[in-house]
Amino acid sequence: MSVRERPADRGRRVARLALGRVCEDARLARIAAGLSQREVGRAIGRSHTWVARVENGRSAGVTFGDLGALLAAVGLEPRLTVVPGSDAHRDTAHSALLDRTRTLLHKSWTWRLEVPLPNPGDPRAWDALVRGDGVRIAFEAETGPRDGQALQRRLAIKRRDGAVDHVVLVLSDTQRNRRFLRDYGSSLRIDFPLSHRALAASLRLGRDPGGSGILVL
The DSSP secondary structure of 158-195, one letter per residue, reads: HHHHTT-SEEEEEE---HHHHHHHHHHHHHHHHH--B-
Share of the chain above pLDDT 70, in %: 91
pLDDT reading at 108 higher than 70: yes
pLDDT reading at 60 higher than 70: no
pLDDT value of position 211: 95
pLDDT value of position 87: 47
**Average pLDDT in the 181-185 region?**
92
CA 12, 142, 167 angle in degrees (round to 5)?
Answer: 95
Beta bridge partners of 132: 135
Q: Which amino acid belongs to residue 75?
A: G
Average pLDDT taken over every residue of the chain: 86
pLDDT value of position 94: 85
**Average pLDDT in the 101-116 region?**
92
CB 154 within 8 A of CB 25: yes
pLDDT value of position 59: 65
How confident is residue 8, by pLDDT bands cut at 50, 70 and 90? confident
pLDDT value of position 95: 86
pLDDT reading at 98 higher than 50: yes
**Average pLDDT in the 14-21 region?**
79
